[in-house]
Amino acid sequence: MTAVIDDGGVASAARARIGQTVRARLDRNPMVSRINAPLLEIYGRRDFLSEAECADLRALIDAGAQPSTLFSDGANAEYRTSHSCNLDPANPLVMAVSDRICALTGLPADHGETLQGQRYVAGQEYKAHCDYFPVTANYWPAMRKSGGQRSWTAMIYLSAVDAGGETHFPHCEFMVPPVEGMILVWNNMNPDGAPNPNSLHAAKPVEGGMKYVVTKWFRERRWGA
Ligand SMILES: O=C(O)CCC(=O)C(=O)O
Ligand SMILES: [Fe+2]
């Protein structure tokens, strides 16, 4: 028998079920389009937030933004040059947006991490990364305890930009330019519940204008910070 020391990096029936449930729900929503990427489950929906909601969220981000952090140690300064902040979960707009993401995906609210806001000015970027946790990382045991792997990511663009700033999925050979109010939802796992390396993505450097997004990462179990 092989001992499974840590299941975050392999196929898992529980994570496969999460993938299947969300996929089925998104597939039957006529407002949602699946992006044609054979190696990745990714969906988009325009006008998920109104102009006013986007403006109010941008103001919250401007009020709270700090230089972004990474889980991993090291070259933070160059890797993720944006500013970001966790948005107050008690704020009525933040609550409404989180609820709407849960209604869209069917994912339980208590699996979702705090909604995080992020702002990129010209030249800022978030280099290629996966949202799931590498099980070899020193922080994995803590993440495993606090809800396990990140299954789906939901990200909403709060502004358009003049140039650059696309979300690029290099293994899938497509990128999405920011459209104000549009949500992207993708599965960081494969259908069998193992991490999908093809979910690798980057925020390309903004070349003109300012880019604002909010992101919610969903854990496979209840999130306990
Ligand atoms: O800003 C983007 O386009 C991507 C952001 C991102 O990768 C994340 O928040 O995990
Ligand atoms: Fe990401």
Minimum-distance ligand 1 atom for the alpha carbon of 217:
10
Task: Examine residue 196 and state whether it is found in any structural domain, yes or no.
Answer: yes
Owning domain of residue 76: 8-219
pLDDT at 71: 74
Task: Examine residue 179 and state whether it is found in any structural domain, yes or no.
Answer: yes
Task: Examine residue 202 and state whether it is found in any structural domain, yes or no.
Answer: yes
The SS3 call for residue 204 is coil
Residue 202 CA to ligand 2 center (angstroms) comes to 7
Structure confidence by residue, pLDDT tens digits, 90-99: 999 999 999 9
Percentage of the chain lying above the pLDDT 90 cut? 88
CATH number of the domain encompassing residue 24: 2.60.120.620
Q: Which residues of 136-173 are buried (b: 16+ CB within 10 A; e: fewer)?
A: eeeebeebbeebbbbbbbbbbbbbbbeebbbbbbeebe
Task: Examine residue 2 and state whether it is found in any structural domain, yes or no.
Answer: no
How many structural domains does the chain have? 1
At residue 145, φ and ψ (nearest 5 deg) are -70, -30
Pocket flag, ligand 1, residue 167 (CB < 6 Å): yes
Task: Examine residue 113 and state whether it is found in any structural domain, yes or no.
Answer: yes
Structure confidence by residue, pLDDT tens digits, 45-98: 999 999 999 999 999 999 998 888 777 655 566 888 889 999 999 999 999 999
This prediction has a pTM of: 0.95
Task: Examine residue 224 and state whether it is found in any structural domain, yes or no.
Answer: no
